[in-house]
Amino acid sequence: MERGRHDGFTWDFFVSYTSADAAWATWIAWHLEENDYKVLIQAWDSTPGTNWRYQMEQGMIHAARTIAVLSPAYMRSRFGLEEMRSAWAADPQGTLRKLIPVRVEEFRPVGVLSTVVSLDLFGLSEPEARERLRTDIRATLDGREKPSASPDFPAPIVEGRPGQAPPPGPRSTDRPLLVGQPRPMPMFPAELPKIWNVPEPTARFVDRPELDQLTEAMAGDRPLVALTGTAGIGKTSLALEYVRAYRADFDAVWWVPAGRTDQIANQVSAAAPLLGLPAETSAASVLAQLDAGHRRWLLVVDASTSRDALPDWLPTTSGDGRILVTSRDDRWDAHGQVIHAEALDRAHAVELLADRLPAIDRTAAGEIADRFGGLPQALDQAAHLMISESLQARHYLDELRADPLALLAEGEAPGRPGITAVTLSDASIRLVDANAPTAGELLRLAAHADTATPFPLWLLRDHPDALTSNTTPPSPDGPSPDAPWSAAAEGLRAATARPRVLARAVSDLQSHGLVRYQGDELHLPSVLVTVLRGRTTPDHAAHLNASIGRLLHAALPENVVGDPATWQAWHTLLPHALAVLENTSPDQDTPETAWLAEHAAAYRLERGQPAEAELLATRAAQARERLDGPDHPDTLAARHIYLRAALNNDNFAEAGPLAERNADDRERLLGPDHRDTLASRETLARVYQKTGHLDNAEALFTQNLADRKAALGDRDPDTLESRHNLGAVMAQGGRRLEATEILLPTHSAQVSVLGPEHPHTLDTAHRIAVTYRGMGATTAALGYAEPVTEAREEVLGPLHPATLDSHHSLGLTYRQAGRYHDAIRELDQAFNGRDKALGPNHVHTLESAQALGRSYLDSGQPERATPALEHTLTGREKTLGPDHPTTIQSCKRLADAFIENGSPGKATPHLHRGLLHYENFNGEAHPP
Q: What is the mean pLDDT of residues 534-544?
A: 94
Confirm if 579 and 538 have CB atoms less than 8 A apart.
no
From the list 697, 594, 619, the residue with the least C-alpha distance to 652 is 697
Position 476 pLDDT exceeds 70: no
Mean pLDDT calculated for residue range 797-821: 96
The answer to whether the beta carbons of residues 853 and 869 sit under 8 Å apart is yes
Q: Which residues contact 883 (CB under 8 A, 6 or more apart)?
A: 917
State mean pLDDT over 510-514.
Answer: 89
Query: How far separated are the first and last CA of the chain, in Å rounded?
Result: 86
162's CB contacts (< 8 A; 6+ apart) are: none
Closest CA to 98 of 65, 131, 70: 65
User: Which burial class, exposed, middle or buried, applies to 906 when counting CB atoms under 10 A from its CB (0-12, 13-18, 19+)?
Assistant: middle
Q: Which residues, other chains included, contact 601 with Cβ-Cβ below 8 Å and sequence gap of 6+?
A: 613, 614, 615, 616, 617, 620, 641, 642, 645
Confidence at residue 149, expressed as pLDDT on a 0 to 100 scale? 64
Q: How far apart are CA 827 and CA 298, in angstroms?
A: 59
How many Å apart are CA 428 and CA 406, to the nearest integer? Answer: 18
Closest to 248 measured CA to CA, from 79, 455, 104, 44: 104
pLDDT given for residue 157 in this prediction: 36
Q: Which amino acid is at 499?
A: P
In this prediction, residue 150 carries a pLDDT of 66
Residue 58 pLDDT grade (very low, low, confident, very high; cuts 50, 70, 90): confident
Of 157, 60, 73, nearest to 107 by C-alpha is 73
Q: Which of 505-514, 712-721, 846-855 has the least mean pLDDT? A: 505-514
What is the average pLDDT score of the chain?
87
**Alpha carbon distances (Å) from 479 to 537, 547, 585:** 12, 10, 19
d(CA 118, CA 273): 42
Q: What tens digit of pLDDT does each residue of 665-675 get?
A: 999 999 999 99
308 neighbors 198 (Cβ within 8 angstroms): no
What is the model's pTM? Answer: 0.72
Residues above pLDDT 90, as percent of the chain = 63
Cα separation, 820 vs 815, in Å, equals 5
Alpha-carbon span 234 to 416, nearest angstrom: 12
How many other C-beta atoms lie within 10 A of the C-beta of residue 831?
28
Reported as a pLDDT band with limits 50, 70 and 90, residue 206 is: confident
Please, which pLDDT band fits residue 922 given cuts at 50, 70 and 90? low
How far is 562 from 796, CA to CA, in rounded Å? Answer: 11
pLDDT (0 to 100) of residue 507 = 92
Nearest to 255 by CA among 165, 314, 195: 195
List, in order, residues 6 or more apart from 197 with CB less than 8 Å away: 253, 254, 255, 270, 271
Distance CA 195, CA 218 (A): 19
Q: What is the DSSP string of 797-850?
A: -TTSHHHHHHHHHHHHHHHHTT-HHHHHHHHHHHHHHHHHHT-TTSHHHHHHHH
pLDDT of residue 790: 97
Cα–Cα distance for residue pair 148/134, rounded to 1 Å = 14
Q: Could you tell me which of 859, 850, 845 has the C-alpha nearest to residue 814?
A: 859
CB 229, CB 236: distance < 8 Å: no
Tell the burial category of 57 from Cβ atoms under 10 Å away from its Cβ (0-12, 13-18, 19+). middle
Task: Please check whether residue 268 is in contact with residue 287, taking contact to mean a CB–CB distance below 8 angstroms.
Answer: yes
Task: Please report, for the chain, how many H helices and E strands are present, in that order.
Answer: 39, 14
Between 294 and 549, where is the model more confident?
549
Which element (helix H / strand E) includes 775? helix 759-775
* Interval 287-301: pLDDT, tens: 888 888 778 899 999
Cα distance between residue 187 and residue 22, in whole Å: 11
Count the residues in the chain: 928
What span, in angstroms and rounded, lies between the C-alpha atoms of 860 and 204? 56
Instruction: State which amino acid sits at residue 797.
Output: G
* Backbone angles phi and psi of 18, in degrees to 5: -110, 165
The predicted model gives 98-118 an average pLDDT of: 87
Pairing of strands 521-523, 455-456: antiparallel
